[in-house]
Amino acid sequence: MFRSTLEKNLFLVRNGFGVRNVVKHLTWGTLKNHIIHKGEKPFACSNCDKCFRLRSDLHRRIVIHTGWKPFGCSYCGASFTHQGNLNRHIRHHTGEKPFFCDYCDKRFSENSYLTCHVSTHLREQKIATGIRRHACNECG
């Protein structure tokens, strides 16, 4: 969002923090929260009328307009906007399954598949131990 600390401090002073308060808000996280809280959207897309709170959101929008996908698959030629999406795609070609279950021998190509699978083990544990999250209004 800002190229330097000076640029960030100038932004803070211009937006009502005052010089004394700037020191309190030097971290990116606090500034980001402040921008979201105030509802400011300083980053405008030059291709449409949309404005964004964060530069990264504007970048995503520009990718939509341009169709820029710099990460290409060497197996099939499919292109992706982010390296992580390409990595996930390549695992389908290679059969790599780096995510494994601590409860059984199953392995998964994506963490979300593992998370879903682990929930079945946790559900089984609750049933076996008699733990219920919600009690029945009729029988307790």
pLDDT of residue 25: 47
Instruction: Assess whether 10 and 62 both reside in one domain.
Output: yes
pLDDT of residue 129: 67
| 71 lies in some domain | no
CATH number at residue 9: 3.30.160.60
pLDDT of residue 69: 93
| 52 lies in some domain | yes
pLDDT of residue 86: 97
Closest CA to 101 of 116, 82, 81, 91: 116
| 136 lies in some domain | no
Distance CA 66, CA 133 (A): 48
pLDDT of residue 124: 75
Q: Does the predicted TM-score (pTM) go above 0.75? A: no
pLDDT of residue 109: 95
- First and final CA of the chain: distance in angstroms? 55
- State the pairing for strand pair 51-52/71-72: unpaired
| 123 lies in some domain | yes
Domain boundary among 66, 87, 111: 66
Q: Are 1 and 7 in contact (CB under 8 A)?
A: no
Domain boundary among 66, 86, 107: 66
Number of domains in the chain: 2
- Residues of the chain with confidence (pLDDT) below 50: 23, 25
Distance CA 110, CA 134 (A): 31
Look up the domain containing 10 and give its range: 5-66
| 14 lies in some domain | yes
- State the pairing for strand pair 71-72/79-80: antiparallel
Instruction: Assess whether 12 and 54 both reside in one domain.
Output: yes
